[in-house]
Structure 1
Amino acid sequence: MSNIKLIIEERPANIGNFMVGRMLPFREKRMVGPFSFIDHMGPTAMKDHQNLDVPPHPHIGLSTLTFLFEGEITHKDSLGSDVVIKPGQVNWMTSGSGIVHSERTPEYLRHTDKMLHGLQIWVALPKDLEQMKPSFFHADETEIPTWEQDNINFKLIAGEAFGRKSPVPVYSPLYFLELKGTTRQKINIGDYLFGESALYILEGAIESDGHLYEPKLILIANNAKLCEFTMHENTTVYIFGGDAFPEERFIYWNFVASDKELIEKAKVKWLEQTFKPVPGETDFVPLPDQSHYQKK
């Protein structure tokens, strides 16, 4: 990617009983377009007694995108959704004014050895839609636009690019692309992109301006129009970005908002457990640092 402005390395973070590599937010770059949060999960081998268990927790002001490379996750939410996400599928949950969900190893895998590997992403909502009604969308792998161009396999997971549109119902101009190649290949796709742009290297390596970049890095471009680089053999990268919002976004825990007051209200609402619950779930993730909040 020509004219690289910033290089971000994955940083370890704990999401309960599971370690992830956190890439966004970063102190020098809080967002890329509307993308406000990216975790790289795994690859993690789990024994027959180990499982992913993230109890019910709330979100406001964003859409979550889950995309798996290996393994399976059961998603349940306060709308009544109960879906197993598998590799290549897309889970897109829009919290709007508020939603609660849990993420767990499916029941039929809980006593077997298994792998889990994927990306979890937050996309902030435009200010006028931050309080929209929550919704949930699940896309099968066959519904995602895929094509080959210059010996590279492309997949448009979300948004619009290359004259194509993903079925995932996004709420601002953005793109989230997979590029996968088996041979060394020069890439120049800047004319197809817009807004802010970043590239994540999952496997393999890329070269740009004489520099070699390897996995677990996000490269932030100065300009989406300058997206030119060389992919090495057997390389997979993800390119994401879009139009940035004019207003700042504040993030506290699982809450994203342009107004801090919305976050404060969500904190109290979760502390008092007045969010709509996930059917069949009784436990939950406590609000961090509850010392300033007292139940009525």
Structure 2
Amino acid sequence: MTVHPTDDPVPGDAFSCNAVEMQIIARSRDLGGFAVRRALPSSRRRLVGPFVFLDHFGPSIFKPGEAFDVRPHPHIGLSTVSYLFDGAIVHRDSLGYAETTRPGEISLMTAGRGIVHSERTGLEDRKHGFSMLGLQAWVALPQSLEEGSPSFQHYEAQTIPEHSAEGKTVRVLMGSAYGLSSPVRQDWSTLYVDVALEAGAKLPVDAQTEERALYIVSGEVDLAGDRFGVGSLLVLRPGDALMVEAMTTARLVLVGGATMDGPRHIWWNFVSSSQERIEQAKEDWKQGRFTTVPGDPEFIPLPEV
């Protein structure tokens, strides 16, 4: 996906739960009937571990003839992590990969020094209509790999470790947690966990990971007397363990990892530890120097601002 500018909401009052460092309300935007909430980046917090971008799209209903279409666009210096709860997205990239991401699966595209991809609706869904709900995250690459070779990996749903007990289902998408370890490639210490909770179920969150945040996809949860709903990104204080209780049926993700090896510049779809490198990427896209996506001649022009 691509970055769209939106204003950050005004921060609210202090919380009862000391473990919550800050609450970021995801900025919402309607892209022609397609709702997108952006939790990261924010003016208040640029990264949580390696996570520099977190988009929550849907739930949305597309009628027959309607489609989700993100034309070819470039990336550098990051990996995109696409994860769906509902619907399907057809990924095509300049390496020649064409893969459909479905619920429970993970598509990991590592941009390195540069890649171009599109994200579109498949022909059958265009014909019959479909619903869509999912997340796309960007994780920054360590400085040593920012100019590495681009790549793409797809992980089937059954390869993602999962455990259900006491009213909760935990799926470890990246990294290790709750006694499970994901096979998904990580180039930096990364934590990404999908959690489904029944009303009244509790989720412990330990303090082992250096930087952590909880994002509420659906429902409402309680942390030490404070209630949080859909679109809340709760950045947690380092070193504090806590317990999350679901007030309703709820879905949330735990994201984070080790502190990155320095700050990152983010402009449009480009992430880099060097502002000069981003300026080069802008010019390269403007001048048509990126490799194109086979069979998809359209493209998103470089933004004017």
TM-score of the aligned structures, taking structure 2 as reference length: 0.90
* Paired residues of 1:16 and 1:54 also in contact (CA < 8 A): no
Q: Which residue of 1 aligns with 2:3?
A: none
Q: Is the aligned partner of 1:176 residue 2:176?
A: no
Q: What amino acid does structure 1 have at the position aligned with 2:230?
A: P
Match of 1:293? Answer: none
2:37 corresponds to 1:45: no
Question: Which residue of structure 2 lines up, in the alignment, with residue 265 of structure 1?
Answer: 280
* Distance change (3 Å), C-alpha of 1:18 and 1:272: farther
Q: CA deviation at 1:108?
A: 1.7
Q: Which amino acid aligns with 1:87?
A: P
Deviation at 1:161, TM superposition (A): 2.2
Q: CA deviation at 1:70?
A: 0.8
Deviation (angstroms), 1:234: 1.6
Q: CA deviation at 1:149?
A: 4.5
Task: Give 2:268's match in structure 1, choosing from 240, 249, 253.
Answer: 253
Match of 2:14 in 1: none
Structure 2 matches for 1:111-190, cutoff 5 A?
111-190=127-206
Compare 151-160 and 53-62 and name the one that shifted more.
Answer: 151-160
Distance 2:93 2:32 in 1: 18
Paired with 1:150 and 1:103, the residues of 2 have a C-alpha distance of 37
CA apart distance, 1:17: 7.6
Query: 2:210 aligned to 187, 191, 195, which one?
Result: 195
Aligned ranges for residues 18-167 of structure 1 at < 5 Å? 18-167=34-183
RMSD of Structure 2 on Structure 1 (CA): 1.7
Provide the secondary structure at the position in 1 that maps to 2:175. Answer: strand
The code of the aligned residue for 1:205 comes to E
Q: Distance in 2 between matches of 1:38 and 1:15?
A: 16
In the other structure, the counterpart of 1:241 is 256
How far apart are 1:224 and its partner, in Å? 5.3
Aligned equivalents of 1:213, 1:183: Cα separation in 2: 14
Indicate the SS of the match to 1:111.
Answer: helix
State the shift of 1:150 in Å.
4.2
Alpha-carbon distance change, 175 to 224 in structure 1, aligned in 2, over 3 angstroms: farther
Answer whether contact 2:69 2:120 (CA < 8 A) is retained.
yes
| Distance in 1 (alpha carbons) for counterparts of 2:216 and 2:182 | 22
The percent of aligned pairs where both chains have the same amino acid is: 37
3-state DSSP of counterpart to 1:148 = strand
Instruction: Look up the match of 2:222.
Output: 207
Residue 210 of structure 1 and its aligned partner are, at CA, apart by 1.1
Q: Figure out how many residues of one structure are paired with residues of the other and give that number.
A: 289
Deviation at 1:289, TM superposition (A): 1.1
Name stretches of at least 5 consecutive residues in structure 2 with no aligned partner: 1-16
2:168–2:202: 8 Å Cα contact kept in structure 1? no
Instruction: After TM superposition, give the deviation of residue 131 of structure 1 in Å.
Output: 0.6
Task: State the 1:231 CA deviation.
Answer: 2.2
**Aligned 8 A contact 2:50 2:141 in 1:** yes
For residues 244 and 202 of structure 2, what CA distance do their matches in structure 1 show?
Answer: 6
Q: Distance in 1 between matches of 2:239 and 2:172?
A: 17
Q: State the Cα distance separating 1:147 from its structure 2 match.
A: 1.1
Cα contact 1:200–1:237 (8 A) shared by 2 = yes
CA shift, 1:187, in A, is: 2.7
- How far has the Cα of 1:213 moved from its partner? 1.1
Shift of 1:110: 1.1
Q: 1:239 and 1:109 mapped to 2: Cα distance?
A: 30
- The residue aligned with 1:281 is 296
**Aligned residue identity for 1:39:** D
Q: Say whether the 8 Å CA contact 2:57–2:133 is kept in structure 1.
A: yes
Structure 1 gap segments, 5+ residues each? 291-296
Which residue in 2 is equivalent to 1:294? none
Does the CA contact (< 8 Å) of 1:2 and 1:226 recur in 2? Answer: no
Q: What corresponds to 1:217 in structure 2?
A: 232
Cα offset, 1:188, TM superposition: 2.1
Q: 1:9 — aligned with what?
A: 25
Normalised by the length of structure 1, the TM-score is 0.93
SS at match of 2:127: coil
Q: CA deviation at 1:20?
A: 0.9
Q: Equivalent residue of 1:92, what SS?
A: strand
| 2:213/2:234 contact within 8 Å kept | yes
Residue by residue over 1:17-67, the C-alpha shift from the partner in whole angstroms, topping out at 9 and shown as x without a partner, is 844111100101011110000111111111112101111000000000110
